[in-house]
Homo-oligomer: A and B are copies of this chain.
Amino acid sequence: MKKIINDAEQVVEEMLQGAVLAHPQYVKRVEGFNVLVRANSPVQGKVALVSGGGSGHEPSHAGYVGRGMLDGAVAGAVFTSPTPDQVYEAVKVVDGGKGVLLIIKNYTGDIMNFEMAAEMAEADGVAVAKVVVNDDVAVENSTWTTGRRGIAGTVFVHKIAGAKAETGADLAEVQRVAEKVIANVRSMGMALSPCIVPAAGKPSFTLADNEVEIGMGIHGEPGTHRESLRTADATAEHLVGKILDDLSVNAGEEVAVMINGLGGTPLMELYVVNRKVAALLAGKNINIAKTYIGNYMTSLEMAGFSVTVLKLDGELKELLLAPADTPALVQF
C-alpha cells in the first residue's frame, strides 16, 4: 500500500487537523469530535444543515461547509458511519434556533446513527428534520444499503437546500426543497480500479487488466456487472441511458449535470466523458443549465466516474445558481 499518510489509524484525525489549518476562514473543529462546522457557527435565525458519513469521499462532506451550503459535517472512520454522539454534537453546535436538517446518504449505518442523533437532539428541544438521498440508479439494495445508494447527487442536495436555508426559510420549507432535489436527481457510476482503505492496507476487490465495474458504489460495492473497458462514449451512453430510463426529462426541460471523478481519474477524461453526455442530452433537446466537472464525491484513489443529472424547475435552478462559498475546491 502506497499512501501519503503517517498512521492508518490516525488518518481521519490528521485530515481534519489539516483541513482546519487550511481553511480557518471557513471551518472550525468541534473540540473532541470529528465534526467541522462553519467558523461562525451557530448562524442565528437560519435553518442549519448537517451532513456527513464515512470519510474517504473528500471533498464530501466537510468541503461543503460554508455560506450557502452546509453548517456542519461529521466524519466517520474511512467508509464507516459516524456514531450518533458525533452527529448529535454537530446538531447541537450548529443549531441557530430554527432547527437542523440532516442530509443522509442511504446507507443502513448512516440512517441508524443519524436517526438516533436526531432523537437525542429532539429530546434536548432542537427541531430536527431528515432527508435520505438515494440517487444511484445502478442497483436496488446493496452491501450496506436497503433501496438505492446515495452518491454524488447528494452534493446537489447540499447546495440547493443550503441556498434555501440562507433565504431564512423555515425547517419544513428547507426539507421540502431537499426532498424535491432528491425526487429529481439520479446518478450512476463506473470504476476502472478499486481503492485501498488505509486501515485495511489492500484493495477490497480486484479487476482484471481490461475489466471495469459498471454501477459500482462509492465504497466499492458491486454494481450491475463487469465488462471489458469500452470507449468513453459507449460508457457514457450506457450510464446516461440508465439515468434517463429512471428520470423522466422531456424535450425542452432543463437539467444540471455533474461529471464526478472518483479520486484517481484525470480531469482530461472527465471532459472527454462530458463531450458525449452533453451530446446525448442535446440529442433529446434537454437543456443543460450548468455542468459541474471534477472530484465532488470520491472514493479515495478509485479511478472511474459517475454521471449525475438533476432535473430543474424555476425554484431549483435559482437556488442551484445562488452564490455559495465553501472550501471545496477553494477557488481564487
Binding site for B on A (CB under 8 A): 2-7, 11, 14-19, 21-23, 25, 55-56, 58-59, 63, 68-69, 159, 192-193, 195, 209-210, 212, 229, 231-233, 235, 259, 263-275, 278-279, 288, 290-295, 298, 300-301, 303-305, 320, 324-332
Contact = CB atoms under 8 A, between A and B. Distances in A.
A259 B278 CA distance: 32
Given A6-B272, A11-B272, A266 B231 contact: no
Contacts of A21: 274-275, 278-279, 288, 291
Given A3-B269, A264-B303, A267-B298, 18 more contacts: A2-B192, A2-B303, A4-B304, A4-B305, A14-B272, A18-B275, A21-B274, A21-B279, A22-B259, A22-B271, A22-B278, A23-B291, A56-B266, A58-B266, A58-B268, A159-B332, A293-B327, A320-B332
A14 B275 contact: yes
Nearest to A258: B330
Given A2-B209, A4-B192, A271-B58, A301 B263 contact: no
A292 B4 contact: no
Contacts of A18: 270-275, 278, 293
A264 B300 CA distance: 9
